[in-house]
Amino acid sequence: MPELPEVETIVRDLNKTVLKKTFFDVWTDSPKTIKKITFDRFKKEIIGKRIERVWRRGKNIIFDLSGEKYLLLHQKLTGHLLVGKWQLKNGKWLPLTQGPLEDPINRFIHLMFWLNNNTMMALSDLRKFAKVELLNKKELEKELEKIGAEPLDKNFNFEKFQNCLKNKKGKIKQVLMNQEVIAGIGNIYSDEILWRTKIHPFREVSSLNKNELKEIFLAIKKVLTKAIELGGESISDFRKLSGEKGQFDLERKVYQREGEKCFRCGTKIERLKIGGRSAHYCPKCQKI
């Protein structure tokens, strides 16, 4: 699932490509992607709306539209937005230009928007888990109200981080991935953050001292910032708006490296199951 760096990468590129553009038409072969209203109503309401702002909250992409409407998109497990030009041929969307959009992972297009100036915006989603909602302000606020603190917000300091974890029970990896505690961190970056701090993913939050918490706080800022600079992680389905892969693989130290040598000590990376997810760690560097 795209995490904060991947979503932020998409949002920044959307602000360069679709800002102030107007929706002219929309197509789907997966009406269930549109939540709460029918696709016909969605289509009727979004046509003519102009994109005034694009921003991120947690893992959600939000388009502020004219007419006090908001388009919310959560890419879920395998979804990613693309901008380009395509033609529909034999039921499949084919890019009109050679390049990254031809990547096979970009071919699962189930939602297509037409905007002015010959711009097309597509949602490629292999598993069809992504959700799209057209909301008013009150509905948007309700949708976002339970999302936790934004870790890259300029006001998110160590004191606020400590408050987020105060009285929290559970293993540190699970708490870091809890979207009601801290927004945007998932399986990939929780592994990377904890490897850099030499903290075992199964450590109970209550067992962490102030220095360890400070190390985690600093690693969160550093890892997420670097991941955004590199355009996110494309080890799975995520691609940038252009269809290109993100380059966080240049920095990935532990996630999905089970059986490979630790970059720090040479010990083989191990994997444990935690709440239906996987935790990758070095058993020597990250002792419990």
Query: pLDDT tens-digit profile of 109-166?
Result: 999 999 999 999 999 999 999 999 999 999 999 999 999 999 999 999 999 999 999 9
So what's the pLDDT on residue 268?
Answer: 98
Per-residue pLDDT at 95: 98
Cβ-proximal residues to 222 (8 Å cutoff; 6+ apart), any chain: 196
257 an active-site residue? no
Rounded Cα distance, 7 and 184, in Å: 9
Catalytic residue from among 3, 8, 192, 215: 3
- Of the listed 12, 277, 283, 284, which one is catalytic? 277
Structure confidence at residue 88 (pLDDT):
96
Whole-number pLDDT of residue 275: 85
Q: At 70, is the pLDDT very low, low, confident or very high (cuts 50, 70, 90)?
A: very high
Burial of 75 (0-12, 13-18, 19+ CB in 10 A): buried
pLDDT at 37 over 90: yes
Catalytic annotation present for 32? no
CATH classification of 4-144, choosing from 3.20.20.70, 3.40.50.720, 3.20.190.10, 3.40.50.300?
3.20.190.10
Confidence class of residue 47 from pLDDT cuts 50, 70 and 90? very high
For residue range 194-242, what is the model confidence (pLDDT) as tens digits? 999 999 999 999 999 999 999 999 999 999 999 999 999 999 999 999 9
Which pLDDT does position 1 carry in this prediction? Answer: 84
Any residues with CB less than 8 A from the CB of 172 and at least 6 apart, and which? 194, 199, 201, 202, 203, 204, 205, 208, 216
Q: Does the annotation mark 277 as catalytic?
A: yes
Alpha-carbon gap, residue 5 to 80, rounded angstroms: 13
**Average of per-residue pLDDT values in the chain:** 97
What pLDDT shows up at residue 42? 98
Query: Per-domain residue ranges for the chain?
Result: 4-144, 158-281
Q: 2 an active-site residue?
A: yes
Spot the catalytic one: 49, 59, 240, 252: 59
CATH 3.40.50.2300 fits 158-281, yes or no: no
